[in-house]
């Protein structure tokens, strides 16, 4: 019964968000009470503004639930302005320190939506040339005028198979006010977004919407070979992620390598995504499982619930093991994924003192 309810909640979310990114999309046909039921999940996972985009001008806009989406739209719109100022500050500092940076996710994808405020994000993700991490840390040591998380990846190895030089060579410069921002080429960015979504169990519907926006807005010269990348298994994963966007949200993927895949995706994969949407949270950004279980040792019930939650991540497990999204059961992948995390458990037991991301002795002036 629980499963049916969860599945249905995820299904309503999919229904609400289908085509929501398109200007003049189809009218939303959902019962007001259903919309009200999933509203907290939509807000929680950052799609409130998009829902407003879809319900404005309809009777749903005048409801209390609709007003909540309107508020989300207003807040996200303002946040987008603030992020642009922060991004400008960060890039100015990195420029001054002679650091090459490629912006990924966040603003780099939000700019492709009809309005940048429709796609909220929290932190700024930048890939820098390998070995420049320390210099970047120094450049960002003085608190930003508008504080916010900045994730600086020292080289792209954690997010992509290609090297920095290759990505930089294919990157493009786009305007942000008076500044030029280097973002990944459309093909590389789509691959990175697809793999990132899967790596986190696609628990945010916005990640599939990102893929839909990229695919539907691609240029005529879009190079699919370049997009899918050189690693065979990753090519399959990228196709499967795009197919998920088509299957669950109605993304137009005709004339793409994912065209025939949407109908053949395994049921467990669809169910896993809908289950994650119904939960509204993922496990990838939480504390490691060992710490989580340790903290709940006094309550076996909570510990058991946490253990079940951490086990139920078949998508992440498939990626961690390097497996395919086929129709075979997932438990072997999940078992291997758990076993592979053993070193993390050992690490947790002997974790050293707190890492520092800001050096208290760093210079106290910033160039920007």
Partner 1 sequence: MRQDSEQSRARTSGLVVKGVGEELLVYDLARHRAHSLNRVAAAVWRACDGTRGVAALGQAASRESGQAVPAEAVRYALQSLGRAQLLEGPVEEGGLTRREVMARLGTAAAVALPLVTTIIAPTAAQAQSPPPCLKENEGVCATAAQCCANGCGGANCVCVFSKDRFRCVRPTIGDPKQ
352 is a site residue for partner 1 (CB under 8 A): yes
CB of 70 to partner 1, least distance (A): 9
Of residues 120 and 229, the one with the C-beta less far from partner 1: 120
Does residue 334 belong to the site contacting partner 1 (CB under 8 A)? no
Give the position of tokens 């990157």.
171
Site for partner 1 in 129-188 (CB under 8 A): 143, 146-149, 151
Q: Which residue has the tokens 């990924």?
A: 104
Closer Cβ to partner 1, 82 or 328, answer by number:
82
Is there binding between residue 71 and partner 1 (CB under 8 A)? Answer: yes
Count of CB atoms within 10 A of residue 366's CB?
17
189: left (phi over 0), alpha (psi -120 to 50) or beta: alpha
Tokens 């290759």 belong to which residue? 166
Closer CB to partner 1, 193 or 265, in the complex: 193
Q: How far is the CB of 134 from partner 1 (least distance, A)?
A: 16
- Residue among 68 and 323 whose Cβ is closer to partner 1: 68
Closer to partner 1 by CB, 81 or 134: give it: 81
Q: How far is the CB of 28 from partner 1 (least distance, A)?
A: 18
Sign of CA dihedral 290, 291, 297, 302: negative
Selection from 59, 88, 56 nearest residue 175 by Cα: 88
Q: Which is nearer to partner 1, 85 or 368 (CB)?
A: 85
Is 121 in contact with 107 (CB distance < 8 Å)? yes
**39 interacts with partner 1 by CB under 8 A:** yes
Q: Which stretch binds partner 1 (CB under 8 A): 72-80, 255-263, 271-279, 311-319?
A: 72-80
Q: Does 77 bind partner 1 (CB under 8 A)?
A: yes
Given the DSSP bridges, would you call strands 124-128 and 150-154 parallel, antiparallel or unpaired?
Answer: parallel
Q: Is 343 in the site for partner 1 (CB under 8 A)?
A: no
φ/ψ region of 24 (left if φ > 0, alpha if ψ in -120 to 50, else beta) reads left
DSSP 72: H
The 249-278 contact track toward partner 1, x by CB under 8 A, reads: ------------------------------
Give 264-315 as a DSSP string: GS-HHHHHHHHHHHHH---STTS--HHHHHHHTTT-HHHHHHHHHHHH--HH
Q: Which is nearer to partner 1, 261 or 279 (CB)?
A: 279
Query: Is position 82 an interface residue for partner 1 (rule: CB under 8 A)?
Result: yes
Q: Would you say 62 or 123 has its CB closer to partner 1?
A: 123
Residue-wise DSSP of 109-175: HHTTSSSGGGS---SEEEEE-TT-HHHHHHHT-SPPSS---EEEEESSTTT-SS-HHHHHHT-EEEE
By CB under 8 A, residue 301 contacts partner 1 = no
**Residue 207: other Cβ atoms inside 10 A:** 24
Per CB under 8 A, 58 contacts partner 1: no
Any contact of residue 355 with partner 1 (CB under 8 A)? Answer: yes
Q: How many residues does the chain have?
A: 368
Contact of 261 with 282, CB cutoff 8 Å: no
Given 161, 286, 305, 328, the residue binding partner 1 (CB under 8 A): 286
The binder of partner 1 chosen from 30, 85, 92, 293 (CB under 8 A): 85
Interface with partner 1: number of residues (CB under 8 A): 54
Q: Are 335 and 274 in contact (CB under 8 A)?
A: no
State the DSSP code for 363: -
| Closer residue to partner 1 in complex, CB, 58/122 | 122
Using CB under 8 A as the binding rule, whether residue 81 contacts partner 1 is answered as yes
Binding positions for partner 1, rule: CB under 8 A: 39-40, 43-46, 48-49, 68-69, 71-72, 74-79, 81-82, 85, 105-106, 120-123, 143, 146-149, 151, 200, 204, 206, 281, 285-288, 291-292, 295, 348, 351-358, 360
């Amino acid at each position: 019964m629980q499963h049916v309810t969860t599945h249905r909640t995820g299904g309503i979310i999919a229904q609400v968000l289908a085509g929501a990114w398109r200007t003049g999309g189809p009218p939303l046909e959902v019962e007001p009470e259903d919309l009200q039921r999933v509203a907290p999940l939509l807000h929680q996972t950052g799609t409130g503004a998009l829902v407003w985009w879809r319900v404005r001008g309809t009777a749903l806009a005048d409801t209390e639930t609709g007003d909540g989406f309107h508020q989300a739209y207003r807040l996200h719109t303002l946040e987008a302005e603030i992020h642009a100022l922060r991004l400008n500050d960060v890039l100015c500092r990195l420029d001054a320190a002679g650091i090459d940076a490629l912006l990924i996710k966040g603003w780099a994808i939000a700019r492709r939506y009809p309005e940048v405020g429709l796609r909220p994000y929290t932190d700024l993700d930048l890939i820098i040339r390998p070995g420049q991490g320390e210099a970047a840390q120094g450049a960002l040591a003085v608190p930003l005028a508008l504080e916010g998380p900045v994730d600086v990846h020292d080289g792209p190895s954690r997010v992509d198979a290609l090297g920095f030089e290759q990505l930089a060579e294919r990157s493009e410069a786009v305007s942000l006010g008076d500044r030029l921002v280097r973002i990944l080429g459309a093909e590389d960015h789509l691959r990175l977004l697809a793999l990132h979504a899967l790596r986190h169990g696609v628990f945010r519907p916005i990640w599939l919407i990102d893929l839909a926006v990229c695919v539907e807005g691609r240029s005529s010269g879009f190079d699919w070979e370049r997009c899918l990348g050189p690693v065979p298994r990753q090519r399959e994963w990228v196709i499967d992620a795009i197919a998920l966007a088509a299957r669950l949200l109605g993304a137009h993927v005709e004339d793409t390598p994912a065209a025939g895949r949407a109908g053949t995706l395994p049921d467990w994969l669809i169910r896993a995504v809908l289950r994650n949407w119904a939960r509204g949270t993922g496990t990838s950004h939480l504390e490691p499982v060992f710490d989580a279980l340790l903290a709940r040792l006094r309550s076996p019930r909570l510990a058991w619930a946490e253990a079940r939650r951490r086990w139920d991540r078949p998508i992440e497990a498939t990626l961690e093991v390097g497996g395919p999204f086929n129709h075979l059961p997932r438990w072997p992948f999940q078992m291997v994924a758990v076993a592979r995390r053993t070193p993390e458990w050992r690490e947790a037991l002997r974790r050293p003192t707190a890492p520092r991301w800001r050096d208290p002795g760093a210079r106290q002036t910033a160039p920007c």
